[in-house]
Amino acid sequence: MESAAENASTALFREYLRIKSVQPQPDYDGIVRFLFKMAEEIGLEKKTLEFSPGRTIVILTWRGTQPHLKSVILNSHTDVVPVFEEFWTYPPFAAHKDKDGNIYARGTQDMKSVTIQYIEAIRQLKTEGRKFPRTIHLTMVPDEEIGGHMGMELLVDHPDFRALNPGITLDEGLANPTDEFSVFYGEKCVWWITVYCRGDPGHGSRFIENSAATKLHSVVTSFLDFREKEKKRFESNPSLTLGDVTTINLTKVSGGVSCNVIPSEMSATFDLRIPPTVNLEEFESQIEKWCQAAGDQVTFEYHQKCMNQKMTTPEDSNPWWKAFSDPCKELGLKLKPEIFPAATDSRYIRTAGFDALGFSPMNNTPILLHDHNEYLNEDIFLRGILIYSRIISSLASVPPSAGNQ
């Protein structure tokens, strides 16, 4: 639904959605041109960093009146996940708006809406002539959807990031289908592990006792039994969120060369997401016991093993949290502090020793990130700009005290 009188922020959002920054070949050049145009319109300092060819990081800055104070960082990623167009009602990069104001496009929720909400909130504050003691930086990073290894993971260890003097970072959250707004103060530890089982080969007509398959069966059973226990614990306690329990999923099984040959090696790969409240050393010991119980010649390899369990305190004793939550309360928002169930760039920020909160102002909205027909309603989007303007104002005005100078 096109309209000559469409809200300017909505039009900007839809323009941004039409840039095909889709993996595996994101149009990062188009993203940079768009963001630099925004910086020039609003009057923000702009720069780029590039740690890998074509993987451009954009940093826009609104300098505070007391630039020596720790800054407010508004982070977002610029890439989006692939699409299967045959399952979409509207073309996924057309940014179609229907009669109900729902805007359909890849990235509406994850997370181009947030980027534009940051920009439009700052545009509004600057138009009002507001000034703040703390500097505000917008960091727009590449490749989050494939792990952030060429983006935020490198950025947090670079002197240019330290030079931003980070105090608090806002990053992406999730939609919430209820009246509540989810806000994430920590993330699960992601472990990807492959277990290799070796045994005696033989003819498919025989009972081979020491086979790789029997060992693999034992391993898979141990992992999935634990999965079932955690699933039951989650389902039996309404106060628990997905971020409070460990998820385990079998994602790959390999082995065998022929239908009638018992293989000498088989393997299984698992995706584990472990809450930061779990004792990781004890959990790793449990995995070792599962593998030992399966028999000899059972080994395992970690492809990813996050051991960082740092969290941002979601209590008023933390001045950053108080500055974030107070304007939300004034707006009548129901905040639901949670552990993020998957992984975002916030994990790198917290690992580097800085506070971070994950928040996308999308309530009464189905969670559609990475799904077909991803959409966001225009009214929800526009309200998010108001919410961010209040939050950014509050964070950038936090008076200096111990820990946030």
Catalytic residues: 79, 144
CB 194 within 8 A of CB 269: yes
For helices 8-17 and 378-395, give the axis angle rounded to 10 degrees.
100
Neighbours of 23 (CB within 10 A): 14
